[in-house]
Amino acid sequence: MKLEDIRREYTKDGLRREMLKDTPVAQFELWLQQAIEAKFADPTAMVVATVDEHGQPSQRIVLLKHVDENGFVFFTNTGSRKAQELKQNSKICLHFPWHEIERQVIVYGEAQALPTSRVAKYFLSRPKESQLAAWASQQSRPVSSRQALMQTFSSMKDKFAKGEIPLPDFWGGYCVVPTKIEFWQGGEHRLHDRFMYVKQADGSWEIERLNP
Ligand SMILES: Cc1cc2nc3c(=O)[nH]c(=O)nc-3n(C[C@H](O)[C@H](O)[C@H](O)COP(=O)(O)O)c2cc1C
């Protein structure tokens, strides 16, 4: 099978200006709800792109844990590559690849570190094993073997055998405050619908249609 021959038409839906909500977050919430109802794996999974000090972009999948008019929230290890890159350059791009429903959403913005109280609230809501795994993992740094990782996990299990597992001081979260959000709906013959919400100085949103 030649890769060049793998193609399909996008015919599920169309997106028209009059269908759009006033704010991109309201539009996002509608599409997220439909992505959840479509029952595909990990509807809250998003690709998070950051850039290092040399201008080298990197990406990884992270789960969206909350969204409201303030922004898009995710949690991670603050020693990880993404967190280190965000320290240098807080500009960030999120991508929701909802191709099962012939849609994608792209969020451009600035990542703001969340207060510890907010991070702790989420951390304490996680299953115990995930909390222990957070303690055991120096995310993004080399580890000698799977066995070494499991040994650290097991020693954390012993260390925190009693009571609540505290929030590690190397664990944090971000709220991505959006400046632009694009909604893409696949169209027939590659004539896709694309709308970009752009934040204005007064806080309102302008909407422009983009060429496919
Ligand atoms: C479906 C899925 C969900 C993930 N969710 C998270 C998450 O919420 N937080 C996180 O730090 N990493 C998450 N990861 C792991 C990241 O993709 C990545 O490997 C890790 O954060 C280290 O990234 P970095 O080295 O670029 O900082 C997830 C991976 C997958 C495939």
CATH of residue 108's domain is: 2.30.110.10
Residues marked as binding for substrate? 7-10, 65, 122, 126, 130, 190-192
Q: Are 166 and 97 in contact (CB under 8 A)?
A: no
Query: Measured from the CB, is residue 61 less than 6 Å from ligand 1?
Result: yes
Residue 9 near ligand 1, beta carbon < 6 Å:
no
Res 198: pLDDT? 98
Nearest alpha carbon, ligand 1 atom 4? 62
Is 136 inside any structural domain?
no
Q: SS3 of 209, please?
A: strand
Q: Whose CA is nearest to atom 12 of ligand 1?
A: 62
How far is the first Cα of the chain from the last one, in angstroms, to the nearest whole number? Answer: 28
Q: Give the HSE-up count for residue 172: Cα atoms under 13 Å, Cβ half-sphere.
A: 18
Tally of structural domains, the chain: 1
Q: For residue 107, is it within any domain? A: yes
Short-list 205, 136, 123, CA closest to 164: 123
* Residue 200 domain boundaries: 7-126+170-209
Query: Model pTM?
Result: 0.97
Which tokens sit at 146? 């799977």
- How far, in Å, from the CA of 193 to the mean position of ligand 1? 30
Q: Is residue 61 one of the residues assigned to a domain?
A: yes
CB atoms within 10 A of CB 152: 17
Q: Give residue 89's identity as a one-letter amino acid code.
A: N
Return the active site residues. Answer: 190
Question: Is residue 13 one of the residues assigned to a domain?
Answer: yes
Question: From the first residue on, what is the mean pLDDT of each consecutive set of 10 residues in the chain (212 residues)?
Answer: 93 94 98 96 97 97 98 98 98 97 98 98 97 98 98 97 96 98 96 97 98 98
Ligand 1 atom, smallest distance to 139 CA: 22
Confirm whether 137 is domain-assigned.
Answer: no
- Under DSSP, the state recorded for 189 is G
Nearest atom (ligand 1) to Cα of 61 = 17
Asked whether residue 64 is assigned to any structural domain, the reply reads yes
- Asked whether residue 133 is domain-assigned, the answer is no
Residue owning tokens 């094993």: 129
Question: Which pLDDT belongs to residue 63?
Answer: 98
Phi, psi of 155 (to 5 degrees): -70, -30
Identify residue 124 by its one-letter amino acid code. Answer: L
Residue 63 Cα: closest atom of ligand 1:
8
Residue 152 within a domain: no
Q: How many CB atoms lie within 10 A of CB 47?
A: 15
Q: Whose CA is closest to atom 11 on ligand 1?
A: 76
Please work out, in degrees rounded to the nearest 5, the angle formed at the alpha carbon of residue 133 by the alpha carbons of 36 and 41.
20
